Amino acid sequence: MGRYDLALIGFGGVNRALAELIAARGDRFAEELGFTLRVVAITDLRAGSLVDTAGIDLAPLLAAEPGELSFAGLPGGSADPRNKWVIREVPADIVVEATFTNPNDGEPALSHVRWALESGKHVCTTNKGPVALAGSELKRLAAEHGVSFEFEGSVLSGTPILRTAQRLLGGLEITGVQGIMNGTSNYILGRLEEGVELPTAVTQAQELGYAEADPTADIEGHDVQLKVMILANEVLGAGLRREDVSCTGISGITPQDAQDAISKGLRWKLVGSAARRPDGTVEARVAPVALPAHHALAGISGPVNAVAFHTDLLGTVTVSGPGAGRTETAYALLSDIIAIHQHHHADDDTAPLHRVLQETHRG
Amino acid sequence: MGRYDLALIGFGGVNRALAELIAARGDRFAEELGFTLRVVAITDLRAGSLVDTAGIDLAPLLAAEPGELSFAGLPGGSADPRNKWVIREVPADIVVEATFTNPNDGEPALSHVRWALESGKHVCTTNKGPVALAGSELKRLAAEHGVSFEFEGSVLSGTPILRTAQRLLGGLEITGVQGIMNGTSNYILGRLEEGVELPTAVTQAQELGYAEADPTADIEGHDVQLKVMILANEVLGAGLRREDVSCTGISGITPQDAQDAISKGLRWKLVGSAARRPDGTVEARVAPVALPAHHALAGISGPVNAVAFHTDLLGTVTVSGPGAGRTETAYALLSDIIAIHQHHHADDDTAPLHRVLQETHRG
């Protein structure tokens, strides 16, 4: 039975949800997955930092209101997040990076990931920035230090998009990807189809918790742009930079446009796509597209997101699921930890997981 | 570089398409997947059998018209399929089973699989029968002999359904599965929605190559019933027999029914489903269901099939893709061979596959 000691960097919704899963299901993970998880450090911009190499008791932290949590004064605690010191010096196996991050330079997450990999720690992150902007550098760094860099949650939360491409589609060529990868804009387009004006639809999306206080990145496509970069680079090996991905959002679509499209059997969707050109290079873009009703992505509505893989041998394979959500994104981190376990420490790549699931369910 | 010697049992559309892939892409497989494939035996009800332990030259066989192929008179050839002898005695690493098989007792495929596993050979198959009717016996037999039994193609051809559940959804609980798993009935329901009567729709499906000469198994749901058994047993660990899965087909749906549903925002679909009851047992059925338009499966049309996994942590994750097709099903066999390679012979579970794909595409 292995055990992984985790350093949680950022203690907002996602890492808090991961801590809740560990607190509530730790025994089940041990039985099903063959490892236990222990949190040895937590850092947070507001709460400060907390270190206990014997394992932090999560229950009192999870009982506190998120806004009121402060680590100052606790044994091993500080009002200072001490990110660099915690990431580099605390003896954790896996650094779990889930901070709020600037999409322009990927900071502070990019530095967090670099520090962790350089100190020989595995990293899993839900942050798009470091993956989109420096994915190949970080993968090289991970390889140099013999550790893993996992980031399933950077695209569609825990819905297994990157791992479907990496693990389940070997031996064929993925010629392009196309996705609906932002729940807020997808919800808003649905409201426009019902005749609601954009500002009202945005307010409704905010009330439902889909949209941020500043919904610009959702509406103007910048959030999708980073995800397209990740897909283009990870799945098509494109090596694109942000300026290589043209980006148009949905603010130019009116309720009239949306309703006219429906009357023609079409649905406007904000589509992020990347496809290989005949010369081998990759073209990538984000733009509203009026999809015919029978298109694999046309029926993807509201907070559900989807990515379609176009392939040479299988035609189109589409994976849909939640695009966001605390627990759904925390599950992405758990799936990353499972991947690290299978890659580095399991005797056998996949059979145990499946076998245990079978036995557990049969009982 | 590993090499796998294959015995192809059945040389109809699917194994022929696999042979075409090996002939056309063998070098690429070697580069991307780290192994080469060689066919050392082929058996077929009509063509007989052909054995060459130094590797059969596939080109002349693939140049012949399928109906005219005869192995009698060739060196190592015979008019007799000699299945039992070939499977047991020819030194192959992997037996690739793709015969026409009786869905009531799974024969002759079930015996083929047993003989292969008992002689210490890995098996991959696209046949539903042996998996649905004797899956746990065969997996036990495989484990006893230290070999793999792989069958991704038994559900939705090469679309990765079983492997998504087995490999990418660890650590959460799959509480139920729901799928559209028969392209013929799905196509026919689409025609009914357009006002076409059932007999005409069946004829059109046959003309398009979707439906068999005898479409009963497609229309009455028996094909889906076997797939539901496989999903219930493999994904939910249910241990169901055929009589445990209630089965109603689509022959009771009229064009009027289909059109009335559309006017109410519903779409009739032939849904196979399995769900865990509160007491832990599994309920499974095949029946037409009028799905609301926003349902994950409502937009799945024509030959596209899909399976939705309902989970505790991730909500619903749906995978859609081709449900049939020669090359698509042959790809399932290739994905099984990749799984065998990763499980038994690769140094590392997944990284090489992905790394090579990246490098190949970057070039």
Say how far apart CA B107 and CA B128 lie, in whole Å.
11
Whether the per-residue pLDDT at A137 is higher than 80: the answer is yes
Peptide bond into A108 cis (omega under 30): yes
**Chain A residue with minimal CA distance to B281?**
A362
**pLDDT computed for residue A355 by the predictor:** 34
Measuring CA to CA, how many Å separate A327 from each of A40, A83, A333, B336?
A: 21, 24, 10, 32
**pLDDT computed for residue B347 by the predictor:** 54
User: Are A2-158+326-362 and A162-322 in the same CATH fold?
Assistant: no
Tell whether A317 lies on the interface with B, counting CB pairs under 8 A.
Answer: yes
Higher pLDDT, A321 or B358: A321
Q: Do B334 and A171 touch (CB under 8 A)?
A: yes
> What rounded mean pLDDT belongs to chain A?
93
Say how far apart CA A269 and CA A286 lie, in whole Å.
10
Say how far apart CA B292 and CA B272 lie, in whole Å.
16
User: Any bridge partners for residue B133, and if so which?
Assistant: none
**pLDDT computed for residue A347 by the predictor:** 54
Whether the per-residue pLDDT at A362 is higher than 70: the answer is no
Decide: B2 and B34 in contact? Cβ < 8 Å: yes
**pLDDT computed for residue B294 by the predictor:** 81
Measuring CA to CA, how many Å separate B162 from each of A43, A354, B61, B325?
A: 39, 11, 32, 18
- pLDDT tens digits, A256-269: 999 999 999 999 99
Q: Is A257 helix (H, G, I), strand (E, B) or coil?
A: helix
Q: Considering only CA atoms, which of B174, B173, B166 is closest in space to residue B148?
A: B166
Instruction: Encode chain B (363 residues) as per-residue pLDDT tens digits.
Output: 789 999 999 999 999 999 999 999 988 889 999 999 999 999 999 999 999 999 999 999 999 998 899 999 999 999 999 999 999 999 999 999 999 888 889 999 999 999 999 999 999 999 999 999 999 999 999 999 999 999 999 999 999 999 999 999 999 999 999 999 999 999 999 999 999 999 999 999 999 888 778 899 999 999 999 999 999 999 999 999 999 999 999 999 999 999 999 999 999 999 999 999 999 999 999 999 999 988 889 989 888 999 999 999 999 999 999 999 999 999 999 999 999 999 887 654 443 343 333 333 433
**pLDDT computed for residue B349 by the predictor:** 41
Instruction: Give the up-direction half-sphere exposure of residue A84: CA atoms within 13 A in the CB hemisphere.
Output: 3
**pLDDT computed for residue A209 by the predictor:** 82
- CB contacts, 8 Å: B33 with chain A: 170-171
- CB contacts, 8 Å: A350 with chain B: 166-167, 339, 342-343, 349
Fold of the domain spanning B162-322: Dihydrodipicolinate Reductase; domain 2 (3.30.360)
Q: Is A83 helix (H, G, I), strand (E, B) or coil?
A: helix
Type of residue at A136: S
Tell whether B331 lies on the interface with A, counting CB pairs under 8 A.
Answer: yes
**What are the sequence ranges of the domains in chain A?**
2-158+326-362, 162-322
- For residue B47 the two structure tokens come to 């063509």
Whether the per-residue pLDDT at A131 is higher than 80: the answer is yes
Residue B139 a catalytic site member:
no
**Chain B residue with minimal CA distance to A22?**
B171
Peptide bond into B108 cis (omega under 30): yes
Question: Is B212 assigned to a binding site?
Answer: yes
Kindly report the backbone phi and psi dihedral angles of residue B182, in degrees, each rounded to the nearest multiple of 5, phi listed first.
Answer: -145, 115
**pLDDT computed for residue A1 by the predictor:** 75
From the list B84, B121, B139, B227, the catalytic residue is: B227
CATH architecture classification, B2-158+326-362: 3-Layer(aba) Sandwich (3.40)
DSSP A167: I
**pLDDT computed for residue B132 by the predictor:** 96
The residue-averaged pLDDT of A323-332 equals 96
Length of chain B: 363
Min Cα–Cα distance to chain A from B361, Å: 6
Q: Considering only CA atoms, which of A72, A58, A74 is closest in space to residue A24?
A: A58
Decide: B9 and B45 in contact? Cβ < 8 Å: no
Kindly report the backbone phi and psi dihedral angles of residue A47, in degrees, each rounded to the nearest multiple of 5, phi listed first.
Answer: -80, -20
- For residue A18 the two structure tokens come to 């991961």
Cβ contacts of residue B213 below 8 Å, gap of 6+? B206
Question: Is A212 assigned to a binding site?
Answer: yes
Min Cα–Cα distance to chain B from A87, Å: 25
Q: Do A349 and B349 touch (CB under 8 A)?
A: yes
**Chain B residue with minimal CA distance to A348?**
B343
Min Cα–Cα distance to chain B from A75, Å: 32
- pLDDT > 70 fraction of chain A, expressed in percent and rounded: 95
Type of residue at B45: L
Q: Note the ipTM here.
A: 0.94
Decide: A218 and A250 in contact? Cβ < 8 Å: no
The residue-averaged pLDDT of A284-301 equals 93
CA A95 to chain centroid: 15
Type of residue at B291: L
The residue-averaged pLDDT of A320-337 equals 96
- CB contacts, 8 Å: B320 with chain A: 296, 317-318, 320
- How big is the A-B interface in CB pairs under 8 Å? 181
For residue A288, what is the enclosing H or E element? strand A282-292
Q: Considering only CA atoms, which of B247, B248, B230 is closest in space to residue B239?
A: B230
Decide: B359 and B34 in contact? Cβ < 8 Å: no
Tell whether B319 lies on the interface with A, counting CB pairs under 8 A.
Answer: yes
Task: Tell me the residues of chain A between 166 and 225 that have a Cβ less than 8 Å away from chain B.
Answer: 166-172
Say how far apart CA B222 and CA B129 lie, in whole Å.
11
**Chain A residue with minimal CA distance to B297?**
A299
**Secondary structure (H, E, C), chain B:** CEEEEEEEECCCHHHHHHHHHHHHHHHHHHHHHCEEEEEEEEEECCCEEEECCCCCCHHHHHHCCHHHCCCCCCCCEECCCCHHHHHHHCCCCEEEECCCCCCCCCCCHHHHHHHHHHCCCEEEECCHHHHHHHHHHHHHHHHHCCCCEECHHHCCCCCCCHHHHHHHCCCCCEEEEEEECCHHHHHHHHHHHCCCCHHHHHHHHHHCCCCCCCCHHHHCCHHHHHHHHHHHHHHCCCCCCHHHEEECCCCCCCHHHHHHHHHCCEEEEEEEEEEECCCCCEEEEEEEEEEECCCCCCCCCCCEEEEEEEECCCEEEEEEEECCCHHHHHHHHHHHHHHHHHHHCCCCCCHHHHHHHHHHHHC
Q: Is A319 exposed, middle or buried (0-12, 13-18, 19+ CB in 10 A)?
A: buried
Q: Is A55 helix (H, G, I), strand (E, B) or coil?
A: coil
**pLDDT computed for residue B278 by the predictor:** 94
Measuring CA to CA, how many Å separate B354 from each of B1, B126, B187?
A: 17, 25, 36
Vertex B330, ends A350 and B275: CA angle to 5°?
50
**pLDDT computed for residue A346 by the predictor:** 63
Instruction: Give the up-direction half-sphere exposure of residue A152: CA atoms within 13 A in the CB hemisphere.
Output: 26
Tell whether A139 lies on the interface with B, counting CB pairs under 8 A.
Answer: no
- pLDDT tens digits, A282-292: 999 999 999 99
Cβ contacts of residue B133 below 8 Å, gap of 6+? B105, B106, B110, B229, B242
- CB contacts, 8 Å: B158 with chain A: 313-314
Say how far apart CA A330 and CA A19 lie, in whole Å.
9
- pLDDT tens digits, A139-196: 999 999 999 999 999 999 999 999 999 999 999 999 999 999 999 999 999 999 999 9
Of residues B168, B322, B359, nearest to A315 (C-beta): B322
